[in-house]
Structure 1
Amino acid sequence: MAGGPVFAGKGGREYPGNLTPYVLATCIVAAMGGLIFGYDIGISGGVTSMPMFLKRFFPDVYRKQTADTSTNQYCKFDSVPLTLFTSSLYLAALLSSLVASTVTRKFGRRLSMLSGGVVFCAGAIINASARNVAMLIIGRILLGFGIGFANQSVPLYLSEMAPYRYRGALNIGFQLSITVGILIANVLNYFFANIHNWGWRLSLGGAMVPAIIITIGAILLPDTPNSLIERGKKDEAIAKLKRIRGVDDVTDEFNDLVVASDTSKLVEHPWRNLLERKYRPHLTMAIAIPFFQQLTGINVIMFYAPVLFKTIGFKENASLMSAVITGGVNMVATLVSIYGVDKWGRRFLFLEGGAQMLICQIVVTICIGLKFGVTGEVSSLPEWYAIVVVLFICIYVAGFAWSWGPLGWLVPSEIFPLEIRSAAQSITVSVNMFFTFVIAQIFLNMLCHLKFGLFIFFAFFVVVMSLFIYFFLPETKGIPIEEMSMVWKNHWYWGRYIPNDDASNGLSALEMGISKEPVKPVY
């Protein structure tokens, strides 16, 4: 039998296995599903700051930028149709993620990813050839359907394929792909903005490239052993598990997966079962984590970075370059999370990132407030002042990129039992998309009315979410995905929701020898 690290399983058994080149390559390809989400996040703000795009589709906003010099800086982009262009995608993603749950469970993770890639590609084609706002919105809705399928299936795929000791790092590959997509979009916006009449078409049409990548990847990828067992393909599943782990003896892990699958089949209505008391911790995290992730204010920066920088006094190309800089910081900082998530733990990164974002939001509030006041009547920022604003926004982005960004997808995807996994992941994606839609739809209006106080609004939620993590999220580092229930049983608060008889499927395994050390309550 091939050598490698051994992983503790149920009843004191050990799961032998390696981080094989096969599983590494598989997870890298699957993680590229994040490119479509990232590309869209990055492309939206840049396109909506391009004069030719605004002149063609949103002439009222264009006039504010050019003719109406009296408009205060905070309100120059306040337009319901403009924000609907951005936010309609996320409403569509919310709806499609609910459908994706059934597809992912019954037909496998790969088909869900494939569906997302094909539909996203169709939306990109329609947007690139748009003649009116209606075509733009239709294209955005199709993009949203694609993102809903991809975001539902990719994190689950990664969590199920990865050896649990490396699960955090491999799963965060999804977030890394998102940041790469954002950076590529920002760079393309910077160059395409100089193409006078149709640069925006190239930016929007470029979304076809990541869509083709995930489509081809989904065709070539294997399905996860969990999914194969769930669909009754046990012979294929055990062969796949051997190849993934790089060893011949996978009996213990395979048997545990079969038991988990058999248990899940007893659940006739996973959506209804989510409301059961014993799943209260999981449902809470499925809702709270994506909710707080959006209320950090990060999408204000990523959606509207060029718009925001232009609003606070940067020229057009300078605002696009500032977005490129923040996109680069976002990508590099995500690598820190990949390195540290399985070393330092989820809770440490959550809390450190929250503190960092809070400090930066306070500093940016002071900087913008001192310069613009409540009237917003100022034409530009001194160069040194603008550098300070960009610097602290970059530090803020870095804090998000190694904490709430990747962990907002990782933690929900690894904590759900198989019997509710697809349904619960759909809840996570739906909540994420709903609040992304809300923030995208109301941000420019909030900026117009709250002015620099908008950053204080988000800073308040950073405080609340950090306290939530400190008291209610247990550490999930190094816990096998099929034994995650033990962290809830030993939590000071959530333990009361886990019945003792249910604990015997994994929780009481602590008493059967999973760990030689006593397990302390976690916070």
Structure 2
Amino acid sequence: MLQRSPTGTWLPAWVPESTGLLSTLLMLCSVVQSATGGYDGSMLNGLNILPSYTDYFRLDPATTGLNTSAVFLGGILGPLVTGHLADRHGRRPTIFGGSALTLVGVLLQTAAQNVAMFVVARILLGFGSAVSGIAAGVYLSETLPCRWRAWGVGLLNDFYYVGALIAAGVTLATGQWPSTWAWRAPSLLQGVFSALCLVLLPLIPESPRWLAYRGHWAAARAVVARTERGDAAVVATVYREIVDTLAWEKKHGATMRLAEIWRTPTARRRLLIGMSPGPFSCIAGNIIASYYLASELDTAGVTDTVAQLKAVCNFFYFFGFVVGGGGEKEGVQDGLTHSLHI
């Protein structure tokens, strides 16, 4: 059974009554960016192996790097505007816009006739994916039931390996096709995650914190009651925490402007900590292995196209995600249970 949920935006919502189903939909809608990113890395790794792709664009080392890195150009631009868009227009409409733009980029990438068109498409794809991913992370941390919140937000980037494994399998399956669809088909399927997000968005509520921030107090409490169904004490506590936090921010002059991220020493330290995982992970060399495995395998003496495509299939990482995720889930839930009893 679906019930209408107030959103305070142009994007309506009909939300399921089941808290478990609602939490699942929230997770599925929010993992778009990490799954798309994982798919992109594994897909480009595979495409750089395929003669049908490299010969079609007549790639040299410079254009290969440009085609590959263009998605990061869009990814750099996305965070500059996402905060403003999500705060002004709502979390769900921002996710919707980012996912729709990602789909446009995917379609242009699939239809690319030259390097310039491919690069522009990947910039759009990277921008849209960054917008939807950032807004989705904030949205999930504000909306997922508190007993599952730490676990759910912790799983967001783990879906990178889900997308990567799917892309590796698709590229391996299409790699021997005797046409440009050997690389166009994997490119087109990259839009599946964003399309799924667009389908699910009308089935999940708006962030209760954003609703309260915009003055929709009754709607915010209704969303909290919907996500925390069955425990009146938790509903009251979560809602009061939102109200008190907003009141404190207003009293101390804290706003949602970009300047807040470096206004105080504490904010600057948090910013540096938040920025550090990106460059540290890249220094480890995983980006090179994710996009240029073909060149590494050539150096190692593995030159067969099919053998290289099989090497892209990262079952080891997916297995680590499944096993590690299970242990993390139990530990986080135990911690949340303990904290709630306190």
- TM-score (structure 1 length as normaliser): 0.56
Paired residue secondary structure (1:267): coil
Structure 1 stretch 235-244 or stretch 259-268: which is displaced more? Answer: 259-268
Structure 1 residue 281 corresponds to structure 2 residue 280: no
Paired residue secondary structure (1:117): helix
Corresponding letter in the other structure for 1:203? P
Corresponding letter in the other structure for 1:182? A
Render the CA deviation track for 1:41-79: whole Å, top value 9, x for unaligned. 2211111211121112135x4xxxxxxxxxxxxxxxxx1
- In 1, the alpha carbon distance for the partners of 2:243 and 2:187 equals 45
- In 2, the alpha carbon distance for the partners of 1:102 and 1:308 equals 41
- Counterparts of 1:412-491 in structure 2, within 5 Å, are 478=336
Structure 1 residue 20 corresponds to structure 2 residue 8: no
1:317 counterpart (303, 306, 312): 306
* Alpha-carbon shift at residue 273 of structure 1 (Å): 2.6
* Alpha-carbon shift at residue 190 of structure 1 (Å): 0.6
Question: CA separation of 1:309/1:233 partners in 2, compared to 1, >3 Å: closer, same or farther?
Answer: farther
Corresponding residue for residue 48 of structure 1: 48
Corresponding residue for residue 243 of structure 1: 226
Render the CA deviation track for 1:477-521: whole Å, top value 9, x for unaligned. 6499xx9xxxxxxxxxxxxxxxxxxxxxxxxxxxxxx997xxxxx
1:89 counterpart (71, 81, 93): 71
Render the CA deviation track for 1:363-415: whole Å, top value 9, x for unaligned. xxxxxxxxxxxxxxxxxxxxxxxxxxxxxxxxxxxxxxxxxxxxxxxxxxxxx
* Alpha-carbon shift at residue 184 of structure 1 (Å): 0.8
Structure 1 residue 169 corresponds to structure 2 residue 151: yes
Question: CA separation of 1:310/1:230 partners in 2, compared to 1, >3 Å: closer, same or farther?
Answer: farther
* Alpha-carbon shift at residue 306 of structure 1 (Å): 4.1
Structure 1 residue 229 corresponds to structure 2 residue 212: yes
Render the CA deviation track for 1:152-206: whole Å, top value 9, x for unaligned. 1122222222344432321233224321111111111111110122111112122
Greater Rg, structure 1 or structure 2? Answer: 1
What do you get for the CA RMSD once the two structures are aligned? 2.5
Structure 1 residue 190 corresponds to structure 2 residue 178: no
Corresponding residue for residue 119 of structure 2: 137
* Alpha-carbon shift at residue 297 of structure 1 (Å): 2.2
Paired residue secondary structure (1:56): coil
* Alpha-carbon shift at residue 104 of structure 1 (Å): 1.2
CA contact (8 A) 2:36 2:163 kept: yes
- In 2, the alpha carbon distance for the partners of 1:515 and 1:108 equals 33
Corresponding residue for residue 257 of structure 1: 242
- In 1, the alpha carbon distance for the partners of 2:336 and 2:232 equals 23
- In 2, the alpha carbon distance for the partners of 1:47 and 1:271 equals 38
Question: CA separation of 1:215/1:89 partners in 2, compared to 1, >3 Å: closer, same or farther?
Answer: same
Corresponding residue for residue 100 of structure 1: 82
Render the CA deviation track for 1:191-233: whole Å, top value 9, x for unaligned. 1110122111112122222221122222332112122212221
Corresponding letter in the other structure for 1:253? V
Structure 1 residue 121 corresponds to structure 2 residue 110: no
Paired residue secondary structure (2:97): helix
Corresponding residue for residue 9 of structure 2: none
Paired residue secondary structure (1:82): helix
Corresponding letter in the other structure for 2:296? L
- In 1, the alpha carbon distance for the partners of 2:267 and 2:145 equals 25
CA contact (8 A) 1:128 1:201 kept: yes
- In 2, the alpha carbon distance for the partners of 1:158 and 1:98 equals 20
Render the CA deviation track for 1:454-477: whole Å, top value 9, x for unaligned. xxxxxxxxxxxxxxxxxxxxxxx6
Question: CA separation of 1:144/1:240 partners in 2, compared to 1, >3 Å: closer, same or farther?
Answer: same
- Counterparts of 1:400-411 in structure 2, within 5 Å, are none
2:136 counterpart (154, 161, 166): 154
* Alpha-carbon shift at residue 146 of structure 1 (Å): 1.2
1:340 counterpart (318, 327, 332): 327
Render the CA deviation track for 1:11-32: whole Å, top value 9, x for unaligned. xxxxxxxx93144223332234
- TM-score (structure 2 length as normaliser): 0.84
- In 2, the alpha carbon distance for the partners of 1:103 and 1:269 equals 11
The aligned length equals 315
Corresponding residue for residue 29 of structure 2: 30
Uncovered stretches (5+) of structure 2, i.e. residues with no partner: 1-17
Question: CA separation of 1:269/1:128 partners in 2, compared to 1, >3 Å: closer, same or farther?
Answer: closer
Paired residue secondary structure (1:286): helix
2:194 counterpart (211, 214, 232): 211
CA contact (8 A) 1:310 1:316 kept: no
- In 2, the alpha carbon distance for the partners of 1:21 and 1:268 equals 33
* Alpha-carbon shift at residue 302 of structure 1 (Å): 2.1
Paired residue secondary structure (1:96): helix
* Alpha-carbon shift at residue 132 of structure 1 (Å): 0.7
CA contact (8 A) 2:84 2:257 kept: no
Uncovered stretches (5+) of structure 1, i.e. residues with no partner: 1-18, 62-78, 346-476, 484-513, 517-523
CA contact (8 A) 2:23 2:145 kept: no
